[in-house]
Amino acid sequence: MSVTAAQGFEAAGVAAGLKHSGDRDVALVVNRGPSQAAAAVFTSNRAVANPIIWSRQVIGDGTVSAIILNSGGANCFTGHEGFQATHATAEAVAEAVGVSSGDVLVCSTGLIGEQLPLDKLRQGVTDAAAALSADGGDAAAHAILTTDTHAKTSVRTGEGYTVGGMAKGAGMLAPGLATMLVVITTDAQLAASALDSALRNATRVTFDRLDSDGCMSTNDQVTLLASGASGAAPDEAAFTAVLTEVCRDLAEQLQSDAEGASHDIAITVTGAATEDDAVEVGRAVARNNLFKAAVFGNDPNWGRVLAAIGTTSAPFDPYAVDVSMNGVRVCHAGGPDQPRELVDLTPRACSVLIELHAGDAEATILTNDLTHDYVHENSAYSS
């Protein structure tokens, strides 16, 4: 049900011919209210796509009536003509569903540097508006996919309200924020400022800690729309907890469908001086190609873990660090501990525990291994 699990929303996913495959490539989600509060977080990449430039303006007043998303083209580095295409898309949605274009968010995903075919996109908007329904969440979730192998959706319920979402990811998964397109809807009654705060708190510990390949996209956006249709008005903390569950579930689905990956790696750093240090250490390991290739080869090469930690600015003593892989402590106090042969890395799930012994803070970073399939998917064709 994804984005239509919550009351007050309609969605559709149609094929507009933007993808060569002929698959669905335009998704539309409309908030029928009574409230139209919204929040969004955007990629922190300084080179951003035209839809991001547009959507940053739209979200300013905290009111969003609809969001249109296309796969098959990122509309990034496409200059003035590209921005006009984004604007025209919002105008087409506004006309088709009877809202103001200034309340229409736009998201695009696909190849950078090519213009979108505006005629096809406009027809897609018309078709999507005609197909809108309260059962359209799954079709929308399919329409935003690129190299994903399946749709990602998640639904949780709070006290008297529902939170549901859809996500696309697959490649270029890195932090700060998102590197993905995500739309989450709720029928809870919350003001835009509360939604913004809840969304930032939820993404900080979920999507922001997914770092599949260290590459940060130009188009990423996580959007939260609230209709208020349930009549429930939860307090912000309770709502944030439910929202965080949806975000974590979607983040884990993105990880497990990352391009070419054969392992889902959770790197937990404990005993850090600060949470930021824990994140920095986890991320340094997550981005180390030698470590990632070793995991692909089922090789518990803890030396590469320590070499990666050594590139960070986090306080630690290299001769105090412990490292465990899949429950076997292979490094104690910066030296060899249990034999590496005891570590079984054949399961897809791989856990790395790094104990810095430098404080009380911790964080977990999710990443993937570096595989032949990753190289193939990112070299054999443009994406």
Which of the residues are catalytic?
179
N- to C-terminal Cα separation, the chain = 28
Q: How far apart are CA 247 and CA 66, in angstroms?
A: 20
Residue length of the chain: 383
Q: Interface with its own copies includes 382 (CB under 8 A)?
A: yes
- Least separation, in Å, of the C-beta of 105 and its own copies? 21
SS3 55: helix
SS3 (DSSP) at 2 = helix
Residue number with CB closer to its own copies (24 or 283)? 283
Q: Which position among 20, 22, 346, 380 is part of the footprint of its own copies (CB under 8 A)?
A: 380
Smallest Cα–Cα separation from 217: which of 186, 259, 184, 155? Answer: 259
Read off the tokens for 289: 């190609």
Task: Please work out the total of residues on this chain that contact its own copies, with binding judged by CB under 8 A.
Answer: 61
For its own copies, the closer CB: 239 or 316: 316
Cis peptide before 117 (omega within 30 of 0): no
Site string for its own copies, 148-187 (x = CB under 8 A): -----------------------xx---------------
| One residue of 131, 191, 215, 342 binding its own copies per CB under 8 A | 215
Tell whether residue 289 is among the known ligand binding residues: no
Three-state SS for 287?
Answer: coil
Q: Is 70 in the site for its own copies (CB under 8 A)?
A: no
Is residue 354 classed exposed, middle or buried when 0-12, 13-18 and 19+ CB atoms within 10 A define those classes?
buried
**Dihedral sign of CA atoms 179, 181, 185, 190 in order:** positive
- Residue 228: which residues within 8 A CB-CB, separation 6 or more? 8, 33, 34, 35, 37, 187, 188, 189, 190
Q: Which listed range, 86-94, 196-204, 238-246, 369-377, lies at the site for its own copies (CB under 8 A)?
A: 369-377
AA identity, residue 10:
E
Residue 368 is labelled as binding a ligand: no
Nearer to its own copies, 206 or 218 (CB): 218
Which residues within the stretch 277-336 sit at the binding site for its own copies (CB under 8 A)?
A: 287-290, 293-294, 296-297, 299, 301-304, 306-312, 318-319, 331, 333-336
Give me the least distance between CB of 304 and its own copies, in Å please: 7
Q: Segment 37-56, which members bind its own copies (CB under 8 A)?
A: 45-48
> What is the C-alpha to C-alpha distance for residues 378 and 277, in angstroms, rounded to an integer?
31
> How far is the C-alpha of 106 from the C-alpha of 115, rounded, in Å?
15
227 or 367: CB nearest its own copies: 367
Query: What is the spatial distance between Cα 371 and Cα 289, in angstroms, rounded to a whole number?
Result: 10
Residue ranges of the annotated binding site for substrate are 146, 168, 179, 259, 378, 383
Which residues bind to its own copies, rule: CB under 8 A? Answer: 45-48, 74, 76-79, 82, 111-115, 171-172, 213-218, 287-290, 293-294, 296-297, 299, 301-304, 306-312, 318-319, 331, 333-336, 370-372, 374-376, 378-382
